[in-house]
Amino acid sequence: MSNPSKIIYTFTDEAPALATYSLLPIVEAFAASADIAVETSDISLAGRILASFAEHLDADKRVQDDLAKLAVLATTPEANIIKLPNISASVPQLKGAIAELQAQGYNIPDFPEDPQTEAELQARARYSKILGSAVNPVLREGNSDRRAPAAVKAFARKHPHSMGEWSMASQSHADYMRGGDFFSSEQSITMDKAGDVRIEFVDKNGKVEVKKQLALQEGEVFDSMFMSCKKLREFFEATLQDCKETGVMWSLHVKATMMKVSHPIVFGHAVSVYYKGAFDKHAALFAELGVNPNNGISSVYDKIKSLPASLQEEILHDIHACYSDRPEMAMVDSVKGITNLHIPSDVIVDASMPAMIRSSGQMWGKDGKLKDTKAVMPESTYARIYQEMINFCKTNGAFDPTTMGTVPNVGLMAQKAEEYGSHDKTFEATVDGTMRVVLADGTVLMQHEVEAGDIWRACQTKDAAIRDWVKLAVTRARQSNTPTIFWLDPERAHDLQLQKKVEAYLQEYDLSGLDIRLMGYNEAIRISMERLIRGQDTISVTGNVLRDYLTDLFPIMELGTSAKMLSIVPLMAGGGMYETGAGGSAPKHVQQLIEENHLRWDSLGEFLALAVSLEETGIKTDNPRAKLLGKTLDAATGKLLDNNKSPSRKTGELDNRGSHFYLALYWAQELAAQTEDSVLQAHFSPLAKTLADNEATIIAELSAVQGSPVDIAGYYRSSPELTSKVMRPSPTFNAAIASLH
């Protein structure tokens, strides 16, 4: 090896940061045996604040801008980044962190609520860049590679989650539009050279309004499509009538979060159709009050609070009267009376449909009972896969986590690929006319006749992102030696453009021995499911929306949760980012540590990400020891799951630190037991023995400290010395790890 390899381990916030104090020394010690350095990169909220105000600080208190460095690293082939969950700071969180840092002697400005001076304006500008999701956009420069790690899969097989039984007589189904939706109107082009385009609306008098201008790259795929408001409302009415006739419960499943402009409008039409009686009767008043059905029926309740009591009562009565004309609706919370149409973000299709399918195809009724349900998903593009799975479960019964295979995903998302909900290219027509996409020279590339209320949207997918996605799929197919399916629907305009590219770019690779196929969505999911129930694995290679849907759908069937999936972003420049844990950074865990010296954070995500990071290092730098470390770490993680050595929630029982001890023990044992590399075997055998011999002592030392409060001198930026002491309380364990060096 020319250069010793380097893994960047991000230092973040709250529980993951605390756990890092315990885990990182172990990781460093093990990684060193394969000549791999593990460096931390401080992208914590506090770290980012300090880096933003470096010139305000004394020289000894200055910190580097690690995020900026990481952003540069992410564009190099050497990037190997383990990305732990970090705080997406709200304003209160940011102010809390500022106050703490100031108290620690860092001379940073207050957060200017109402900036006036030049200094305040500058401070506000800097703090704005730190707020919210400020890390991921900088680092996610690649497509998505998600899979269930072997250890997690083995655990689910041995300790299966519950799965509701399916009846062949189930009435549940997914219903979707058979015309008039985005699917049926989609047009798609590929730019043969770079060029500027305008999105225009032309009204019936020929007046042209430019809605948006975009510079498209050569090879970029550009789509446009619309959903007919009239057809959508007719469809909703028909589904309601059908449920009324068949006695099946009605439910709506959209993705108002991801499709953040189009789906709230779709949701709003469902609200105003379901509660048509009340909306029609009070149309003028609702308009005056600014009632927006897109915000859910709950917003009506909010808006009418200003009205006289008698009028409020009348409106509430009219809303409730709708329930007698309409079929029963699925509930989000039947105890609290929260319906499916309460607020638009409660029922999110990628989570709600797997939950329904896991629960025998049923959802909760208003009486708190599970019932057969019509799952209404207006847009047919992706809804069909759920109907396919429902039919499959009716025929074959519920999936069996103890025997089923797995469906990993390679998803197109780099450079904002296929962001169908992208707010800046979605428009709701206010009058009848034509929406069109026009080249700078006036050539009309695509156009749709729209009516008032129709939802028109466009979407970009860059060629470089597609090329990288194909490469990633081939790499994953090769590395997993697993049949691989590109989900490309021959009836979708967009997918036909992609198909041409995929077929061309696949030619650039050695595909010998690989089973890579292109299929429509229905066929793809069906074959994947047929293989699943026979214990066989199939890689799904999909666009951005299916990436999002499938990385919940299959994991929830296979593992009971999508949080245990490996989430890798192989960066387009050649590096890799390994994301851990979907559960956030867990403020409650920090509180428990400080008050009772027990950290319940589960580092499973870190173990899994690290194993892949090591494996990738091994492959990229031709370092067999790195691969071996990865493989044995996976085995150790499996053993840890198997022996139930994950942290307990209860103080006094095994916590995060004890779990790390067992990981080290099992990892050392795996390395001592393997015979591929005798040097590593010899290196780790003494540690394996020491840890095993001292298991009782170490566990006692780790348990002894629990139960009393500790002081780590900070929440957003605790004292490294104090925190390290708290997180490494076993001298026996620390000495054993130290002996590795």
Binding site for a copy of itself (CB under 8 A): 167-171, 173, 175, 242-243, 245-248, 372, 374, 387, 391, 394-395, 522-523, 526-527, 530
The count of other CB atoms within 10 Å of the CB of residue 475 is 15
Report in angstroms how near the CB of residue 393 gets to a copy of itself at its nearest: 11
Residue closer to a copy of itself (CB basis): 166 or 427? 166
Report in angstroms how near the CB of residue 487 gets to a copy of itself at its nearest: 16
State how far the Cα of 406 lies from the Cα of 553, in Å rounded to an integer. 11
Residue closer to a copy of itself (CB basis): 171 or 646? 171
Residue closer to a copy of itself (CB basis): 314 or 523? 523
By the 10 Å C-beta count (0-12 exposed, 13-18 middle, 19+ buried), 32 is classed as middle
Residue closer to a copy of itself (CB basis): 246 or 402? 246
Report in angstroms how near the CB of residue 352 gets to a copy of itself at its nearest: 18
Report in angstroms how near the CB of residue 374 gets to a copy of itself at its nearest: 7
Residue closer to a copy of itself (CB basis): 520 or 583? 520
- Backbone φ/ψ region at 515: left (φ over 0), alpha (ψ -120 to 50), beta: beta
Spell out the residues 6+ positions from residue 675 whose beta carbon is closer than 8 angstroms to its own. Answer: 681
Report in angstroms how near the CB of residue 539 gets to a copy of itself at its nearest: 19
Using alpha carbons, list the distances in angstroms from residue 432 to 206, 349, 352, 443, 448.
11, 31, 35, 22, 11
Report in angstroms how near the CB of residue 380 gets to a copy of itself at its nearest: 11
Residue closer to a copy of itself (CB basis): 342 or 371? 371
Residue closer to a copy of itself (CB basis): 205 or 395? 395
Residue type, 500: K
Residue among 56, 146, 151, 55 nearest 638 (CA): 151
Residue closer to a copy of itself (CB basis): 170 or 617? 170
Residue among 642, 620, 616 nearest 630 (CA): 616
Residue closer to a copy of itself (CB basis): 327 or 344? 327
Residue closer to a copy of itself (CB basis): 239 or 730? 239
Task: State both tokens at 160.
Answer: 């299966």
Residue closer to a copy of itself (CB basis): 229 or 240? 240
By the 10 Å C-beta count (0-12 exposed, 13-18 middle, 19+ buried), 186 is classed as buried
- Partners of 295 in the β-ladder: none
Residue closer to a copy of itself (CB basis): 244 or 260? 244
Residue closer to a copy of itself (CB basis): 99 or 527? 527
Report in angstroms how near the CB of residue 397 gets to a copy of itself at its nearest: 9
Burial letters 501-517, b for 16+ CB under 10 A, else e: bbeebbeebeeeebebe
Q: Is 188 helix (H, G, I), strand (E, B) or coil?
A: strand
Provide φ and ψ at 428, rounded to 5°: -100, 120
State how far the Cα of 708 lies from the Cα of 702, in Å rounded to an integer. 13
State how far the Cα of 740 lies from the Cα of 592, in Å rounded to an integer. 32
Report in angstroms how near the CB of residue 168 gets to a copy of itself at its nearest: 4
Report in angstroms how near the CB of residue 372 gets to a copy of itself at its nearest: 8
Report in angstroms how near the CB of residue 379 gets to a copy of itself at its nearest: 16
Report in angstroms how near the CB of residue 173 gets to a copy of itself at its nearest: 4
Residue closer to a copy of itself (CB basis): 342 or 374? 374
DSSP string covering 703-735: HHTTTS----S-SSS--HHHHHHHH---HHHHH
Report in angstroms how near the CB of residue 230 gets to a copy of itself at its nearest: 21
Spell out the residues 6+ positions from residue 14 whose beta carbon is closer than 8 angstroms to its own. Answer: 87, 585, 586, 587, 589, 590, 715
By the 10 Å C-beta count (0-12 exposed, 13-18 middle, 19+ buried), 251 is classed as buried
Which contiguous run of DSSP H or E holds residue 428? strand 426-428
Residue closer to a copy of itself (CB basis): 310 or 395? 395
Largest CA distance in the chain: 87
Report in angstroms how near the CB of residue 734 gets to a copy of itself at its nearest: 56
Residue in the block written with tokens 């009782």: 696
State how far the Cα of 329 lies from the Cα of 246, in Å rounded to an integer. 13
Report in angstroms how near the CB of residue 38 gets to a copy of itself at its nearest: 48
By the 10 Å C-beta count (0-12 exposed, 13-18 middle, 19+ buried), 160 is classed as middle
Report in angstroms how near the CB of residue 506 gets to a copy of itself at its nearest: 21
State how far the Cα of 618 lies from the Cα of 123, in Å rounded to an integer. 44
Q: Is 624 helix (H, G, I), strand (E, B) or coil?
A: helix
Cβ proximity of 445 and 176 under 8 Å: no
Report in angstroms how near the CB of residue 259 gets to a copy of itself at its nearest: 24
Spell out the residues 6+ positions from residue 265 whose beta carbon is closer than 8 angstroms to its own. Answer: 294, 428, 455
Cβ proximity of 389 and 553 under 8 Å: yes
DSSP category for residue 111 = P
Cβ proximity of 233 and 192 under 8 Å: no
Residue closer to a copy of itself (CB basis): 200 or 372? 372
